[in-house]
A and B are shown apart, each in its own frame.
Chain A
Amino acid sequence: MKAVVASFWLPRAGSGVEEYEDAYCPKRNGTRSSRRMRFAVADGASESLLSGMWADLLVRTWCRSRRLGPGEVIATAMSGWQGEMTAYLEGRERHERPIQWFEEPGLAKGAHATLVGLDLTTPSPAPGRWTAVALGDSCMFQVREGRLITSFPMKTSAEFGTSPKLVPSRPHLLGRALANLDEAEGDWCPGDVFFLTTDAIAAWFLAGAEEGSAPWSRLADFEPHTPELFAAWVGEQRGLGLIRNDDVTMLRVEIAGG
């Protein structure tokens, strides 16, 4: 199977790029070829400390651990997080920036992020199969021949709120995280397009779909070598109140050969 990957991202208006706390994987755009591919998008919770780092670890772990199921991926990320935290705390000490009193409660609570992961396989005989996993309101959409055929895990724009389910970094919360996990599966065909997005674009996408405006057509137009066009469009939509002012991330995966 061949797929063309394009990623787009932007921090919330008024924030710098260093404040961006979404994550996506893979980072490299272009054509990929494999019998099995994984993609993921995550959204670090603003009220957590180090949530961007946790979101990044989650998407990397999902994409690298292609033989692991969703629960094992989260457990692996949680144990990896302990190492990353130790390195982070040592780094702070080394740079003479000890943990401050106002950071302690946040660090004690751990980091949190939403996650949506997509796994594409090419069984023999065809058709291709996909499985998806989600925790929270980051979404996966599948579009075939100009029609939205899958919306996962959110189905309507009304479902988005300010307290989504989150993947915690603390291992003793693994059981609760797994209980909140959503899973789905289906077929893919050459020419299908998958969009993985964090909540702000996902809510806009579903609102557009509900009005019959085919929002996927707009997202299909952007090219990764002109991120400024994507940024200008997001800015315009935010100004119109159609996209909530939040970090935005969109990973587009087009299955070649349609």
Chain B
Amino acid sequence: MPYTAEISRANPTCFLFLIDQSESMKNNIGGGDKPMQKAEAVADAVNRLLSELSIKCAKEDGVRNYFHVGVLGYGASVSPLFEGELAGRDLVPLSDVAAHPARLEERSRSLPASVGGDLPAAGPGRKVMFPTWFSPVAYGDTPMCGAFTRARSVLEGWLADHPRSFPPIVVNITDGESTDGDAAPVAQSLQSLTSADGAVLLFNLHLSADKNEPIIFPAEETNLPDDFARRLHRMSSVLPAQMREAANRQGLMLDEQARGFAFNADISAIVQFLDVGTQVLELT
């Protein structure tokens, strides 16, 4: 059965985020308490996810490499987005991600002493570290075909080294149509890559500045508003069972054919989408 491979340090999986950096990503996104650019909301959500993955996989001997992670931006060019020590790298083992954030900002967290935990420094006003690996950029077109082609080349190499892995997960985050051609055949070519456990998963997250209700993980395309939405839906993989179950635990009640696709996503839909789309590791 596909999408059942054990994820371990010996057999990791990978997440590759593709982030649209086109000019329109400067527009504000819906759903926040205060105005926020789409580019900023996406960078915030993905940086936060990288931080959460590092914390989740941290053990006393270091961060365990259950995942390799990459972030590619596409706008003026298609290129890796990691800054600092990791600059220029496509896919990075999670322990390296954790060890080399580009910035580590210290913020105060107001916790009562009673829930401070085992750290001696715990208590009210305790400092908490907020890492970031890349900054928001909004400049250029939407070369989605170029991004999928680059993703294919990166994952082809990775799969040659990890043939039995849980298949790589590609999360494409965009607010518009491809400007360098029809992305569908390139997406299909990306999804034709396989490990012994199944085909590469491609999830598409479409962002919106308007106030329309987000459509998240639809099975059918009948309720989608236009051809663009339907094309993105067709390019999106069906969610494996464990992700569907994670979504259902959040009360979404998804159809078996639900796809990794969201349309008109606002800030909370981005967070929910990334959470469900990366639920592959069961730690008990």
The bracket for how many chain B residues form the interface is 20 to 34
Alpha-carbon distance A15/B282, docked complex (angstroms)? 14
Q: Confirm or deny: A18 has a beta carbon within 8 angstroms of a beta carbon on chain B.
A: yes
Alpha-carbon distance A16/B130, docked complex (angstroms)? 31
Interface 0/1 of A1-33, CB less than 8 Å to B = 000000000001111001100000000000000
A85 interface neighbour in B56, B118, B283, Cβ under 8 Å: B118
The verdict on A172 contacting B60 (CB below 8 Å), with A13-B6, A15-B9, A108-B122 known, is no
Contacting A at CB under 8 A, from B254-284, are 282-284
Residues from chain B with Cβ under 8 Å of A46 in the complex:
283-284
Q: Confirm or deny: A89 has a beta carbon within 8 angstroms of a beta carbon on chain B.
A: yes
Residues from chain A with Cβ under 8 Å of B104 in the complex:
101
Residues from chain B with Cβ under 8 Å of A104 in the complex:
119, 128-129
Do A102 and B284 have beta carbons less than 8 Å apart? no
Q: Of A60-68, A146-154, A162-170, A209-217, which binds chain B?
A: A162-170
Residues from chain B with Cβ under 8 Å of A100 in the complex:
58, 98-99
Interface 0/1 of B25-62, CB less than 8 Å to A = 00000000000000000000000000100111011110
Q: Confirm or deny: A192 has a beta carbon within 8 angstroms of a beta carbon on chain B.
A: no
Alpha-carbon distance A8/B129, docked complex (angstroms)? 41
Q: Confirm or deny: B251 has a beta carbon within 8 angstroms of a beta carbon on chain A.
A: no
Q: Confirm or deny: B225 has a beta carbon within 8 angstroms of a beta carbon on chain A.
A: no
Residues from chain A with Cβ under 8 Å of B284 in the complex:
45-47, 162-164, 199, 246
Interface 0/1 of B86-125, CB less than 8 Å to A = 0000000000001101001000000000111111101000
Do A102 and B58 have beta carbons less than 8 Å apart? yes
Do A86 and B120 have beta carbons less than 8 Å apart? yes
Q: Confirm or deny: A155 has a beta carbon within 8 angstroms of a beta carbon on chain B.
A: no
Alpha-carbon distance A17/B282, docked complex (angstroms)? 19
Do B282 and A107 have beta carbons less than 8 Å apart? no
Q: Confirm or deny: A236 has a beta carbon within 8 angstroms of a beta carbon on chain B.
A: no
The verdict on A110 contacting B117 (CB below 8 Å), with A14-B8, A15-B9, A104-B129 known, is yes
Do A102 and B63 have beta carbons less than 8 Å apart? yes
Alpha-carbon distance A169/B119, docked complex (angstroms)? 12
Contacting B at CB under 8 A, from A79-116, are 81-82, 85-86, 89, 99-111
Q: Confirm or deny: A49 has a beta carbon within 8 angstroms of a beta carbon on chain B.
A: yes
The verdict on A108 contacting B58 (CB below 8 Å), with A15-B8, A101-B129 known, is no
Alpha-carbon distance A157/B128, docked complex (angstroms)? 41
Residues from chain A with Cβ under 8 Å of B160 in the complex:
none
Do B8 and A107 have beta carbons less than 8 Å apart? no
Minimum CB–CB distance for A246 against chain B, Å:
7
Q: Confirm or deny: B79 has a beta carbon within 8 angstroms of a beta carbon on chain A.
A: no
Q: Confirm or deny: B188 has a beta carbon within 8 angstroms of a beta carbon on chain A.
A: no
Residues from chain A with Cβ under 8 Å of B117 in the complex:
107-110, 170
With both beta carbons as reference points, the residue of chain B lying nearest to A114 in the complex is identified as B284
Q: Confirm or deny: B131 has a beta carbon within 8 angstroms of a beta carbon on chain A.
A: yes
Interface residues on chain A, number (Cβ under 8 Å): 39
The verdict on A110 contacting B118 (CB below 8 Å), with A14-B8, A18-B61, A100-B98 known, is yes
Do B118 and A14 have beta carbons less than 8 Å apart? no
Alpha-carbon distance A199/B119, docked complex (angstroms)? 30
Q: Confirm or deny: A50 has a beta carbon within 8 angstroms of a beta carbon on chain B.
A: yes
Do B8 and A106 have beta carbons less than 8 Å apart? no
Do A107 and B118 have beta carbons less than 8 Å apart? yes
Do A172 and B114 have beta carbons less than 8 Å apart? yes
Q: Confirm or deny: B77 has a beta carbon within 8 angstroms of a beta carbon on chain A.
A: no
Minimum CB–CB distance for B131 against chain A, Å:
6
Residues from chain A with Cβ under 8 Å of B128 in the complex:
104-105
Do A102 and B54 have beta carbons less than 8 Å apart? yes
Q: Confirm or deny: A245 has a beta carbon within 8 angstroms of a beta carbon on chain B.
A: yes
Q: Confirm or deny: B135 has a beta carbon within 8 angstroms of a beta carbon on chain A.
A: no
Do B282 and A162 have beta carbons less than 8 Å apart? yes
With both beta carbons as reference points, the residue of chain A lying nearest to B61 in the complex is identified as A18
Minimum CB–CB distance for B112 against chain A, Å:
10
Known A101-B129, A102-B55, A162-B284; 14 more pairs at CB < 8 Å: A13-B8, A19-B59, A46-B283, A82-B118, A100-B98, A102-B51, A103-B58, A104-B128, A105-B55, A106-B55, A107-B117, A163-B284, A245-B6, A246-B284
B interface residue numbers (CB < 8 A to A): 6, 8-11, 51, 54-56, 58-61, 63, 98-99, 101, 104, 114-120, 122, 128-129, 131, 282-284
Q: What are the 5 closest A-B residue pairs judged by CB atoms, nearest first?
A: A14-B8, A108-B117, A101-B129, A46-B283, A102-B54
A-B contact pairs, 13 of them (CB 8 A): A13-B6, A15-B8, A47-B284, A50-B60, A101-B129, A102-B55, A103-B58, A104-B119, A108-B116, A108-B117, A108-B122, A109-B117, A170-B118
